[in-house]
Amino acid sequence: MSGAREQFGSRIGFILAAAGSAVGIGNLVGFPVGAAKNGGGAFLLMYAIFVFAICLPVMLAEMSVGRHAKKDPLGAYSAISNESPKWKLAGWLAIATPFMIAVFYMVITVWIFGYLFEAVSGNLDKLANPDTFGIFINSPSIFAYMAVVVGVVYLILQGGVKEGIEKAAKLLMPALFVMLLGLVIFVLTRENAMAGVEFYIVPDFSKLTASVVNGALAQAFFSLSLGMGILITYGSYIDKRADVPTSAKLVALTDTAVAFTAGLMILPAIFSFNPEINPDELSESSVGMIFTYLPNIFLALQDSIGYLGASFVASLFFLLVFFAAITSLVSIFEVPVAALMDEKGVSRKWALASLGSIMIVLAILSALSFGKVEFLTQFMHYAGVDKSLFDVIIDVFYETILPLNGLLICIFVIYRWKSANFNASLEEGSDGYKGSLFEKYVDVSLKTFIPLILLVIFVNTVAVKYFGFSVFG
């Protein structure tokens, strides 16, 4: 391996790569639907507060640990804690979590690519059939689509940080912004679109129950790519001159702006197609929304713009989601790859090939857990329900360990690395940060209520997921 650590070539490259990680399927579909069902403007307001008051300080913690240690998450936890075995365990969690989340994210990205392919091939009418999705996820063509997705991720990552990750982000992110804006403008000029906007924005505070609040925070946390070692890893590719606080604010702002804008595309589209819609009927899951509900809405466009026009809009939408998913997948897979390179001194190509192979096997097993293979479909049984391998990966890594990792990084930064070192590190490269109100806020919040909130979420998730009750009653 060459001596110097790879680096992002420019500040905007780092910001776009981090934003590329943050902007994903969660922003484009999960967020708009969550907001619409759970109080509209009231949800939006609460979400924005969570992003800036709770998630932003955690983001700063992750980026600064990476930049300071110049290592992958496992190496960073070890180095800063002087090889403490306890903290090494946190480091292991910070590389195992992204690896496993990458498995389920990969499966969904493969489906998106498949739908993109079908829409471009003129099969929108087939996609709009409610039975299609169930057949599609168990069809052999999944493996061909998987080969393409793996190939794209491999091509980007083998280029390294500057020529791979940064270049891809600089290309895909602006393209994503343009497509999103194009679709928003198109949708907003449809008949009855304003009813959707109204529904999305008018606040209904009565909907904000404890579980909605919990869900909004979890959504914000996931959306900003926290708890997955990604920002530690990306932070290790910037130098002391980089302004971490400003970059983090821009990443959080971009992510939130994209999520908000996506709502201006999804909800008006739904309302314009079906003015009588009762939002409680909207699909609970992003998966149901993307793969069953939306194709129907796209097909309905054929009355006004013809089948070709409708197929074009659908293709654009799936391309948009595909771009968002690819930059997230790249970022999450870079974490274990960087860890293997750093810890074992192997080449990037070797790390990619070996981890990639394990990942493909796990992704195939997950893809077979939707009925194809009995053992994988009923992989476990807890809290009164059968769980497929795919469900178990989501429950354990995404729902449970993610907030735990967030909790650990807060405690680590404040009590092990020490807040004075953390603050001094953030001041490097950021002129206005020292002594600012923001600095005080980040410091105090990470010492007090942020770890407390993450602890409550973690305990509650364990109670709900595995024991079937909520501490919120």
CB of 240 to ligand PHE, least distance (A): 26
Least Å from the CB of residue 30 to ligand PHE: 7
1 to each of 74, 138, 161, 334, 348, how far by Cα in Å?
19, 42, 14, 17, 9
For residue 221, state whether it binds ligand PHE (rule: CB under 6 A).
no
Q: How far is the CB of 311 from ligand PHE (least distance, A)?
A: 25
Q: Are 44 and 35 in contact (CB under 8 A)?
A: yes
267, two tokens: 């909800």
Among 328, 366, 423, 430, binds ligand PHE (CB under 6 A): 328
Residues 6 or more apart in contact with residue 264 via CB below 8 angstroms: 184, 187, 188, 197, 200
**Is the CB of residue 460 less than 8 Å from the CB of residue 210?**
no
Q: Would you say 44 or 414 has its CB closer to ligand PHE? A: 44
Residues 6+ apart with CB under 8 A from 85: none
Least separation in angstroms between CB 342 and ligand PHE: 20
Residue among 78, 214, 225, 400 that touches ligand PHE (CB under 6 A): 225
Determine the interface stretch with ligand PHE among 12-20, 71-79, 217-225, 433-441 (rule: CB under 6 A): 217-225
**Looking at this protein, which amino acid is placed at residue 235?**
G
By CB under 6 A, the residues from 10 to 29 that bind ligand PHE are 21-22, 24-27
Q: State the nearest-atom distance from the C-beta of 394 to ligand PHE, in Å.
A: 12
Nearer to ligand PHE, 214 or 430 (CB): 214
Nearer to ligand PHE, 26 or 40 (CB): 26
Nearest approach in angstroms of CB 24 to ligand PHE is 2
Crossing angle for the helix pair 419-427 and 437-447, to the nearest 10 degrees: 150
The rounded distance, in Å, linking the Cα atoms of 51 and 465 is 24
Please report how many Cα atoms fall inside a 13 Å half-sphere around the Cα of residue 472, on the Cβ side: 14
Q: Which of 132, 223, 256, 315 binds ligand PHE (CB under 6 A)?
A: 223
Total count of residues recorded for the chain: 473
Cβ at position 82, least distance to ligand PHE in Å: 30
The residue range among 222-230, 240-248, 337-345, 452-460 that interacts with ligand PHE, by the rule CB under 6 A, is: 222-230
Tokens at 107, concatenated = 């499966």
- The residue from 222, 293, 433, 458 that contacts ligand PHE (CB under 6 A) is 222
For ligand PHE, the closer CB: 325 or 389: 325
Q: Which stretch binds ligand PHE (CB under 6 A): 119-127, 200-208, 324-332, 428-436?
A: 324-332
What is the closest distance, in whole angstroms, from the C-beta atom of residue 267 to ligand PHE in the complex? 18
Integer angstrom CA distances of residue 41 from 50, 77, 237, 260: 14, 39, 37, 11
Whose CA is closest to 287, among 109, 56, 466, 100? 109
Minimum CB distance to ligand PHE smaller for 256 or for 430? 256
Nearer of residues 99 and 271 to ligand PHE, judged by Cβ: 99
Select the residue whose beta carbon is closest to ligand PHE and give its number: 24
CB of 182 to ligand PHE, least distance (A): 21
Q: From the CB of 295, what's the least distance to ligand PHE, in Å?
A: 20
108 forms part of the interface with ligand PHE (CB under 6 A): no
Residue whose CB is less far from ligand PHE, 22 or 389: 22
Q: Which two tokens stand for residue 172?
A: 């895909």
What's the half-sphere exposure (Cβ side, CA atoms, 13 Å) at 116? 18
The Cα–Cα gap between 41 and 1 comes to 51
CB of 247 to ligand PHE, least distance (A): 17
Give yes or no for residue 270 binding ligand PHE (CB under 6 A).
Answer: no
Distances (CA, A) of 361 to 76, 157, 277: 29, 19, 41
Contact 193, 268 (CB under 8 A): yes
E-assigned strands of 274-416? 380-382, 385-387
Answer yes or no: are the C-beta atoms of 180 and 261 closer than 8 Å: yes
Please answer whether residues 7 and 14 qualify as being in contact, where contact means their C-beta atoms are separated by less than 8 angstroms. Answer: no
Does the protein bind ligand PHE through residue 96 (CB under 6 A)? no
What's the rounded Cα separation, in Å, for the pair 102 and 255? 19
Yes or no: say if 442 and 435 are a contact pair by the CB < 8 Å rule.
no
- Residue placing its CB nearer to ligand PHE in the complex, 310 or 351: 351
Q: Indicate whether 169 belongs to the interface with ligand PHE (CB under 6 A).
A: no
Q: Does 311 contact ligand PHE by CB under 6 A?
A: no
Residue from 331, 405, 423, 460 that binds ligand PHE (CB under 6 A)?
A: 331
3-state helix, strand, coil in the chain (%, to 5): 80, 0, 20
Rule CB under 6 A: choose which of 105, 390, 422, 458 binds ligand PHE: 105
**Site for ligand PHE, residues 362 to 401, rule: CB under 6 A:** none
| CA 387 to each of CA 100, 287, 370, 380, 468: distance values in angstroms, whole numbers, following the listed order | 16, 17, 10, 5, 14
- Count Cα neighbours of 168 within 13 Å in the Cβ-side half-sphere: 26
Judged by beta carbon, residue 203 or residue 215, the one nearer ligand PHE is 215
- Given the complex with ligand PHE, which of 332 and 414 has the nearer CB atom? 332
Binding site for ligand PHE (CB under 6 A): 21-22, 24-27, 101, 105, 222-223, 225, 230, 328, 331-332
